[in-house]
Structure 1
């Protein structure tokens, strides 16, 4: 398989995984156990965003492919905060759930930004040894 086809397949896989994880995390936002709000989405977003970006870069050696999970996650998370035509809102912004939603968005973006910054800051000559060039 050519390098372009390999990168395209990796990009499609990374976008699919990032989109799926973002949806799961968004729908975990109102998670409650025995009536107590459990902010499981917040650490999941931070860790998943960081690992997906760094993992994609390590596996492919491509900065472009490595940035795709962060963009995908951000698109799904921000879309969840927009009211649908029917009036439904997935990620709400009131009370304790609003605080969890803001932490989810802020810290999730922070995890992705740190990972993207680390990937972009690495000169191409110093790419990880296991990466394909």
Structure 2
């Protein structure tokens, strides 16, 4: 039993670490330009990452709380990128085409995360709960 719990905890930790890494990469991809044209790859990555990592965390751990952690980690990193640091650094900026991509990144990422968490919570509440010892003795 302890080994199984450790495996679930490790899987949850890996998914949360992947969410943090992906969110950080997405924030740095925001100003990506190819041949001078702004490419909104961060928006696609935010939506895809949030829609995939939340159910993956639930599937690997079986915990609804852990399933919400990738979305919360993504939101934390995205919001942290939009707050000016004491040194003056600001990653998620506003204004012009870059501001529109940044706004789409934040909006679509949050909506995808909320949708994924809601879907996991709804599916978990609809699935029948196991009761008893699992031996099949009492009916």
Normalising by structure 1, report the TM-score: 0.89
| Residues 80 and 89, structure 1, Cα contact 8 Å, conserved in 2 | yes
Deviation at 1:60, TM superposition (A): 1.9
Question: Considering only aligned residues, what root-mean-square deviation do their CA atoms show, in Å?
Answer: 1.5
Report the counterpart of residue 47 of structure 1 in structure 2. Answer: 48
1:35-56 alpha-carbon deviations (Å, 9 max, x no partner): 0100000011001101000111
| Residues 15 and 56, structure 2, Cα contact 8 Å, conserved in 1 | no
| Residues 42 and 108, structure 1, Cα contact 8 Å, conserved in 2 | yes
Gaps of 5+ in 2: 129-139
Report the counterpart of residue 67 of structure 1 in structure 2. Answer: 68
1:13-48 alpha-carbon deviations (Å, 9 max, x no partner): 111100000011000000000001000000110011
**Matching of residues 1-133 of structure 1 within 5 Å:** 2=2, 3-123=4-124, 126=127
Which one has a bigger Cα radius of gyration?
A: 2
Deviation at 1:125, TM superposition (A): 6.9
- Larger relative contact order (C-alpha < 8 A, sep ≥ 6)? 1
Gaps of 5+ in 1: 128-133
Taking the aligned partners of 1:64 and 1:30, their CA distance within structure 2 comes to: 33
Taking the aligned partners of 1:102 and 1:43, their CA distance within structure 2 comes to: 13
Taking the aligned partners of 2:118 and 2:24, their CA distance within structure 1 comes to: 24
**Regions of 4+ moved over 6 Å:** none
